[in-house]
C-alpha cells in the first residue's frame, strides 16, 4: 500500500477559494498548542485561536502543503502567523458557518512492530529537522 500525503492542505485551499468566491470571510480555527504553530498567545482561548484569513485581513497569505503563513494585525500590531495544516481544526465562512471541520491530528508515528531480538542489523532511518531562518 502506498503512503499518500495528507489531503487536508488541498481541502483547506479548496474551501478557502469557495468562501472567497462567494464574497464571504474565511476563518480558520487552529489548535494553538500544536507543535510549530506561531500565533499571538494573548488571543488564544482554551488552546484554540480563530484567524481571519480573508484577503482584506491578512497580507502575503501562502496556503502551502506544509505551512500556512501570513501577516495580520492584532491590537494594532503586525504579527507573522505560522500554522501547520495539521493544526487546522476547521475552515468556515464567518457569515454563515459553512465550511469544513477536521478531526484532531497528531504527528505521532504509527506503532512499529517489535523486531526479533536476534535481529542485530536494525538500522535507524535518517530524520529531517525543520530549520527556520529568522
CATH of domain 8-101: 2.30.30.220
pLDDT in tens, 7-28: 999 999 999 999 999 999 999 9
Do 55 and 20 meet the contact criterion of CB atoms below 8 Å apart?
Answer: yes
Do 45 and 116 meet the contact criterion of CB atoms below 8 Å apart?
Answer: no
Domain ranges of the chain: 8-101
Please give the Cα distance from 102 to 51 (Å, whole number). Answer: 16
Grid cell 488564544 — which residue?
44
The pLDDT score that the predictor gives to residue 106 is: 56
pLDDT in tens, 29-41: 999 999 999 999 9
Q: How far is CA 6 from the centre of its chain?
A: 11
pLDDT in tens, 82-116: 999 999 999 999 999 999 999 765 554 433 344 44
Of residues 6, 87, 73, 67, the one with CA closest to residue 43? 73
The pLDDT score that the predictor gives to residue 111 is: 37
Amino acid at each position: 500500500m502506498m503512503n499518500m500525503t495528507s489531503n487536508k492542505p488541498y481541502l483547506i485551499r479548496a474551501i478557502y477559494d469557495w468562501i472567497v468566491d462567494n464574497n464571504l470571510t474565511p476563518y480558520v480555527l487552529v489548535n494553538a498548542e500544536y507543535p510549530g504553530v506561531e500565533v499571538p498567545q494573548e488571543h488564544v482561548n482554551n488552546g484554540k485561536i480563530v484567524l481571519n484569513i480573508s484577503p482584506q485581513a491578512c497580507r502575503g497569505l501562502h496556503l502551502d502543503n506544509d505551512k500556512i503563513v501570513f501577516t495580520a494585525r492584532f491590537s494594532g500590531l503586525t504579527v507573522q502567523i505560522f500554522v501547520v495544516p495539521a493544526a487546522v481544526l476547521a475552515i468556515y465562512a464567518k457569515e454563515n458557518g459553512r465550511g469544513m471541520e477536521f478531526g484532531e491530528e497528531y504527528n505521532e508515528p504509527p506503532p512499529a512492530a517489535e523486531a526479533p531480538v536476534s535481529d542485530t542489523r536494525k538500522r535507524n532511518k535518517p530524520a529531517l529537522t525543520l530549520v527556520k531562518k529568522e
